[in-house]
Amino acid sequence: MFIFEIGFIFFTFLSVISSKSKKNSLAVVTLILSTITLLLHLFTEGFRWQFAFAYCVFCVLLLLNLRKTPLSNVVKVLSVIGLGLSLLLAIMLPNLIHNKNTGNYAVGSYSFQVEAELTKRSLPTKVWFPIENSQNLQKDYWIKSYSEIGPQLAKLAGMPKFIFQHLTNAKPTYLSNPVKAVNSAKPIVLLSHGRGAIKEFNAFMAQELASHGYVVLAPDHTGGALLSILNDGTKIAFDPKEFGENENLSPDAKQDRVQNLGMRWANDLDEVLNNFQKQFPEYRNRKVIVGGHSTGGGSTMQYCYTRANCLGVIGLDPWFEPVSDEILKLGLSKPLLSVFSDPYEKDFEPINHQRFKNIEKAMQANNVFVKEVVIAKSGHLDYCDAALLSPYSYLFGQDKGKIKTRKVMQIINQHALDFINALAEGNNLQTIQWQTFPEEMNWVDVE
C-alpha cells in the first residue's frame, strides 16, 4: 500500500473510534487529517475501487460532522467493518509495485510495433533503457491498453472485469525515446513472455537490467499472448491452436506444433531486433542475451542455438517442449542460467525437468557453462509480473507459491545480473562468485 492510502485508513479509523460527543476535538482533528490524506491519495496515488467502503465511511463521517451529529454505536461498528473490508481488499489486490531498481540509472520506456516480414505478423513491442535524467519526463504506464487487457486479466483469474482497475495507477518507468538512452556498448537483452501472457510480464527484470545500463526488448508474440492491441486498434486474442490445444492431436503432432511455435517465437525476436536496429542504427552489430519465462524460456533457447550473435540464455521456470529434439540431444553451445520453481508445486510434468537434465548433461560434456537455481516455495507465476497482481492468488488455484514474489524476483535479478555482466565483459563464468539465498534449494524429483 502507498503511504497516503495507509494514512487515510489510519486517520479515518481514529476519527471513528474517537467520536464520542459533539465537542470531541480529537475526532475533528483526525477527520481533518483524514481529509488531507484522502486528497493527497487521490491526486498523487489515484482512486482505488478497493477503498470504496472507506470512501463511503469518510463521507458519512464528514456529513455527520458538518451536521454536528455524533456517531451512534451502530454507525461506528459499520464504519469499522467498512474500513476493515477496504483494508482486506487492498491487501488481497495490492498496487503493482516492483522491487526498487538497484542500478544507477533511471529507466525509460518506449513502445512500437514491428511488422514481421518472415511470419507476416504484427508484434507490439516495448523497450526499456537507461536514462541519465528523468526530470520533466512523464511517467509511463505498466500497461497502456488497460481498458482492453485489464478485463482479460480478470477473466483469466475468474474475477469481475473491474477487479484490476487499480493497475492504471502503476507507472514504473518514464516515457522517453531510445535516442536519449545512456550510450554504452553493452549487449541488447531480448525477453520472451510465456503462454497466454503479455510483454509487460517481463517488466520486473527489464527495469532492473535497464537501471544497470542495458537496453531490453520484449514483444507480444501475437496469437500466443493473452491479448495484443495493434496500432490500428485491431485486437488479437490468445489462440489455443498455437499450442495444439483443443484439437485432439496425437502427442507427437502436438509436440511438433509446439516446437514449430518455439521456432516462430525465436523468429519474432529476430524481427524485433532487426526492426529496432533499423530505427536506431547506433544499436547495430550488438551482441544479444536472451531470456524468457515458461514457453518464452524454451523459445529463447531455440533462438540462441542458431544465432551467432547470442551470448547466452536465461530460462525463468522454462518449459522445454518448444525446444527442438536436436537441442535436447546436443545441448546448447552458449551458456545457460535456468531458474526453476519448487518441484513440490508440481507446475510441470516430471519430463520437463528431465529435458533440462538432458541438455545440462550434453553441455557439461562439451564444457559449456550451465547453472541451475531452484527457489523453494515458489510457483510458476512467481517468475513474471502476473504474481504481483495478488500475493494470495494461490488460495484460488493459481500457480503462485507461498513465497513473496518480490523475493523471487530479487533472487532472479541478482543471478541474472551476475550472469549477464560476466557475458558482457567476457569474463569466465566459472569464476563468478554467485550470491546464495536461504530460499534456494536442490532439485528433488517428485512423483
pLDDT for the residue numbered 360 = 97
pLDDT for the residue numbered 22 = 53
Domain boundaries, the chain: 3-92, 106-441
* 352 within 8 A of 319, measured Cβ to Cβ: yes
Q: At what angle do helices 25-40 and 3-17 cross, to 10 degrees?
A: 160
- Return the CATH number of the domain spanning residue range 106-441: 3.40.50.1820
The residue count for the chain: 447
User: Comparing C-alpha atoms, which of 85, 90, 93, 76 is closest to residue 15?
Assistant: 76
Would you call 204 helix, strand, or coil by DSSP?
A: helix
pLDDT for residue 12 is more than 70: yes
pLDDT for the residue numbered 71 = 87
Lowest-pLDDT range of 13-22, 101-110, 153-162, 167-176: 13-22
pLDDT tens digit sequence for 215-267: 999 999 999 999 999 999 999 999 999 999 988 899 999 999 999 999 999 99
In terms of Cβ atoms closer than 10 Å to its own Cβ (0-12, 13-18, 19+), residue 446 is exposed
* Distance separating alpha carbons of residues 28 and 38, to the nearest angstrom: 15
pLDDT for the residue numbered 157 = 82
Handedness of CA 391, 392, 396, 400 (dihedral sign): positive
Mean pLDDT of the chain: 94
pLDDT for residue 23 is more than 90: no
130 strand-pairing partners: 107
